[in-house]
Structures are given as structure tokens and as C-alpha cells.
Amino acid sequence: MPPRTAERPRARIEHAAHGRIRVRIAKGDRDPEEIERIRSHVAELDAVDEVHVNQRTGSILIHSSNGPKVRAGLQTVLDLAPFERQAETQVNALVAAVKLGDDRLKAASKGRVSLRWVVPAAFFTIGVRQLMNTGFTIGTVPWYVLLYYGADSFLKLYPEHAPATKQGVRSEPQ
């Protein structure tokens, strides 16, 4: 990432979809004059159709038909953190949180229980409960869907129990 200068406030892309990009300006760079300067520079970029600014939250919503061109232009206006790195960081944080929860559950149960067992068991239990309450009718969440999720999550979390294929190789989780 390029070094931060007075002319390039820190920002990150919060969301990008077809036709829209939302950028969030860092809290320290949100004074009214700076936000207006950023808005006017972004509005002048090629391929930008509309720019909406929320001064309080530091949010800049950009409507455009050419996202890659706008992203390249934003790099010249802002000290912009890469979008892909943020998404990867969020996934890594979620995985770390699940692993921490699993470790705590294992420690509390002295190694007898883990999330690899609890998640499928919960789906099976809820599926059987739904079946007993509603019978074979299709309700909001049908019992057979919950039973399927229970079996599927068990086989993905314990691939060694997956049925062997015709070649004798077990199917791997995706």
C-alpha cells in the first residue's frame, strides 16, 4: 500500500457490486472540507455516474458502469486498502473464531465433544423434533432438510466416514 500523505486520506472498499462501490473513509480523515474534496475528485473520475456522501459515517457510495476503472481512479484520490485482502481477513477472522470456540468446547468436555460432532447432532435433533411436531408435512423448515444438513455436515466434517466411491476412493469434502 502506498504511504499515506496529506493528499491521500485512508479508506477501504466496504462493498462492491455491479454498478455500485461503497468506500469508507477512516475516522481521522472525515473533516467536512476533506470529505467534500474527496467527493469532488471522485465525481470527476471517468465512468462515475453519481456520488453520494454521508459525512457522519464517512461513507461514499459511487454509482458506475465501469467498476475497475473507478477503482483505479480511487487509488489516485485515496490511500485505498485492497478489497480482496479485506475479504480474506474477514474469512480468516471467522475461521479463527470457530476454531477458538471448538477449542473451548473440547477443553470444557475434556476432549469428548467438539463442534465437528455438535453441529451435525444439532441438525439431526432439530430435524427429528420437526418431524415429530409436524409429521411428514412441509413446514417452514422441513424435517428432511434438517436431516439432510445433519448428514451432509457430518460427512464433510468427518470425511473418513464418507462412503467409498466405485474406485474405492472416499469422497472428499468440497
Domain boundaries, the chain: 10-81, 87-161
Q: Is the dihedral of CA 155, 159, 164, 165 positive or negative?
A: positive
**Three-state DSSP class for residue 172:** coil
Helix (H), strand (E) counts: the chain: 5, 5
Spatial distance between the Cα atoms of 86 and 99, rounded to a whole number of angstroms: 20
With 0.85 as the threshold, say if the pTM is over it.
no
Q: Which architecture, in CATH terms, is 10-81?
A: 2-Layer Sandwich (3.30)
35 C-beta neighbours (distance < 10 Å), count: 20
pLDDT per residue rounded down to tens, the chain (174 residues) = 344 445 566 788 887 888 888 888 888 878 888 888 888 888 888 889 999 998 888 889 999 888 888 888 888 778 776 554 555 667 677 778 888 988 999 999 999 999 888 888 888 898 888 788 877 765 577 777 878 888 888 778 777 766 666 554 444 444
